[in-house]
Structure 1
Amino acid sequence: MSTPTTDRSQLSTGSARTSDPRAHRGRPPGVLRVGLSRGWLEIRTFCREWESVVFTFSLPALILAMFASIFDGMFDMGMPSVDYYLPGLIAMGLMSVSFQTLGTTIASEREHGGLRRLRGTPMPPSAYFVGKTVLVLFLALGQVGLLLGMGWLLFDASLPTTATAWATIAWVFVLGTVGCSLLGIAVSSLARTTQAASTVVVVPFLVLQFTSGIFVPVIALPDWVLTGASLFPLLWMAQGLRAAFFPEQMAAMEPSGAWDLHLVAVALGAWCVVGLVLTLLTFRWKTRKDG
């Protein structure tokens, strides 16, 4: 007689455990999962604004098309103009989708209260930055793919043919994009409004394009200009990409007469560290008027 009683007791206990709502409550999603979901939302939101999509991707491509068509054979560059300008414009495009995009969009989100509302949700703060990382990676890969494809298909650009060159492109891509992204996040806190953010971000970026060897050969720039440009990542990104795209003899056109890839790695790595420190010290979820 004791056995049925025991079975009923165990069954009753098991039923109670099953019916307990806490038994069906799973763990909250982790930071990576939330961040990836946030990243997908960032991509969809960005793509809905077709003006931003067109401007972000078309400017470097249009410049490449104009330079390849207008300057080809006009100057003694030692190579077709499309080959000469391609690595520099890739570096410019990477800084555009990282530094410029994050600097302006985060400032806009802060001004319109988007960051403050996100901070009030259960979403881990780090998931927000994972989402921005996904967005920048999407834009950066699209930018590089567009420039390489257009240069090769329309203007017969010479692309790297060795694994070492592509490996150089890969680590310059990663370090440069990370460093510029962190710099853009930090700079976004300097602007009080979205309109001010455009000035704070666009003007320095435009100056760096002319002082970092994107449009003007670095060997033609004054020493004091190169010294100032070397304090920012764009010059080093362009130099690293030239090392991957250009033939070895073109290193003589560099100020030191060599590609100095070890210095490129150190400079870009240092900017990743400096950018992270600046972001941690300056990032704000609210505007100054919100307290």
Structure 2
Amino acid sequence: MTALPDLDRRPSLARLALHRAAIELTGFLRERDAVVFTLALPVVILTLLGSIVDGVYPGSEVTSAQYLAPSMIAAGIASTTFINLGTGIAADRDDGTLRRLRGVPMPPAAYLLGKVLMALVLTIGETVLLLGVAVAAFDLRLPTEPARWLTFGWVFLLGTTACALLGIAASSLARSARSAAAVMNLPYLVLAFISGIFYTPIRALPEPLITVGSLFPLKWMAQGFRSVFLPDTILSQEVVPSWEHGRVALVLAAWCIGGMVLCLTTFRWQGRRGR
């Protein structure tokens, strides 16, 4: 007697998420203009600002361009995750993709994890590209100590996760796909400035702006990456003469938890105009 197939056996959440990530990544890569502009934006900003700013910081051999490079890695991660996920999910909601996906036997978490995994792949490629430009054009020295690369790893994972979750949550603020870019870009640009990304060194910012910027993950991501690629002699240009790795980890982990809570409480599968 032939055994009947197990109809209740379903793919795991991890397998569904990987499958959805492959679909998302394939669809994104087909949009060549989106790929080029997404990966090129932080590289172009680094090249332009790095060519404009000049000088060596007192007491250190670090140039202004080298100080800027690690901060631009943080900005690139935030752009690829927060902005791209926010606008992409808003577009899926606006054109009915989310509504159709809810009708298939796939858990909602698989869709969201697929989006996050796609963003993670893009941020890895973007980071490699940024480091290549920084090394070739501005003589940024890559660390040789394993401990520094370990720091890079946890800052990268925590920062990417936090920004991705915040992008998913913020996607609900846009009333349509057309308005999503403006809604996502405004907070990103404001935080980039008050987090010391485009204004170096960070200790030159007004104290109230430093205080506000310290409440958000971008400032701590940039500080964590600077601790990886820059020597300790540059600490005189930081807000405090320490890399504060414990506080960096605490703030980024807190935003990961907060971002998850925001996703669970604010995420909508249907647009406001569809109610």
TM-score by length of 2: 0.94
Matches within 5 A, 1:68-217: 68-73=50-55, 78-216=61-199, 217=201
Structure 2 contact 56–62 (Cα < 8 Å) conserved: no
Structure 1 contact 67–81 (Cα < 8 Å) conserved: no
CA shift digits 1:157-208 (9 cap, x unpaired): 2112211111111111000000000100010001111122112110110111
Structure 1 contact 102–184 (Cα < 8 Å) conserved: yes
Structure 2 contact 17–114 (Cα < 8 Å) conserved: yes
Larger Cα-atom Rg? 1
Question: Which of 251, 261, 269 matches 2:235?
Answer: 251
Q: For residue 76 of structure 2, what is the amino acid of its counterpart?
A: G
Q: For residue 287 of structure 1, what is the amino acid of its counterpart?
A: G
Displacement after TM superposition at 1:24 (Å)? 6.8
User: Using the alignment, how far apart are the partners of 1:265 and 1:111 within structure 2?
Assistant: 36
The alpha-carbon distance between structure 1 residues 24 and 171, as it changes in their structure 2 partners (threshold 3 A), is: closer
User: Using the alignment, how far apart are the partners of 2:5 and 2:18 within structure 1?
Assistant: 27
User: Using the alignment, how far apart are the partners of 2:249 and 2:167 within structure 1?
Assistant: 20
User: Using the alignment, how far apart are the partners of 1:25 and 1:225 within structure 2?
Assistant: 58
Residue 234 (structure 1) aligned with residue 224 (structure 2):
no
User: Using the alignment, how far apart are the partners of 1:243 and 1:262 within structure 2?
Assistant: 12
SS at match of 2:29: helix
The alpha-carbon distance between structure 1 residues 115 and 75, as it changes in their structure 2 partners (threshold 3 A), is: same
User: Using the alignment, how far apart are the partners of 1:187 and 1:130 within structure 2?
Assistant: 16
Displacement after TM superposition at 1:52 (Å)? 1.1
Structure 1 contact 189–282 (Cα < 8 Å) conserved: yes
Residue 39 (structure 1) aligned with residue 21 (structure 2):
yes
Question: Which of 62, 68, 86 matches 2:44?
Answer: 62
User: Using the alignment, how far apart are the partners of 2:6 and 2:53 within structure 1?
Assistant: 67
Q: For residue 113 of structure 1, what is the amino acid of its counterpart?
A: G
The alpha-carbon distance between structure 1 residues 237 and 212, as it changes in their structure 2 partners (threshold 3 A), is: same
User: Using the alignment, how far apart are the partners of 1:286 and 1:196 within structure 2?
Assistant: 16
User: Using the alignment, how far apart are the partners of 2:244 and 2:10 within structure 1?
Assistant: 48
Residue 52 (structure 1) aligned with residue 34 (structure 2):
yes
SS at match of 1:122: coil
CA shift digits 1:243-275 (9 cap, x unpaired): 111111211211122111111111101000110
Displacement after TM superposition at 1:36 (Å)? 0.7
Structure 1 counterpart of 2:267: 283
Q: Aligned Cα RMSD in Å?
A: 1.7
Structure 1 contact 152–158 (Cα < 8 Å) conserved: yes
Q: Choose 265-274 or 244-253, whichever is displaced more.
A: 244-253
The alpha-carbon distance between structure 1 residues 286 and 27, as it changes in their structure 2 partners (threshold 3 A), is: same
CA shift digits 1:201-249 (9 cap, x unpaired): 1011011111111111211111110111112110010011111111112
Residue 27 (structure 1) aligned with residue 12 (structure 2):
no
TM-score by length of 1: 0.89
User: Using the alignment, how far apart are the partners of 1:243 and 1:151 within structure 2?
Assistant: 16
User: Using the alignment, how far apart are the partners of 1:149 and 1:52 within structure 2?
Assistant: 21
SS at match of 2:142: coil
User: Unaligned regions of 5+ residues in structure 1, if any?
Assistant: 1-13
State the percentage of identical aligned residues: 47
